[in-house]
Amino acid sequence: MELSRTELIAELRRLADELGRCPTTTDMNEHGEYSHSIYYNEFESWRSALEAASLDEDSM
């Protein structure tokens, strides 16, 4: 499955809205549409993926 960065970011934001906080890798695996490993492959780290989605795990 080929996903764009835009699609991955949109899913991160959707999950953050649903949870009311910054999602963790466990949240993504349990409640997200895609596995956290897809984010690592595209962004090289979970933190980089969160930053790309304008999500800050420390502020939510």
Angstrom distance (rounded) from CA 14 to CA 17:
5
Angstrom distance (rounded) from CA 9 to CA 52:
7
**Average pLDDT over every residue of 43-59:** 90
Given a cut of 90, whether residue 2 has pLDDT beyond it is no
Given a cut of 90, whether residue 9 has pLDDT beyond it is yes
Angstrom distance (rounded) from CA 1 to CA 57:
27
Of 20, 2, 23, 1, the residue nearest 12 (C-alpha): 23
Residue with tokens 């466990």: 26
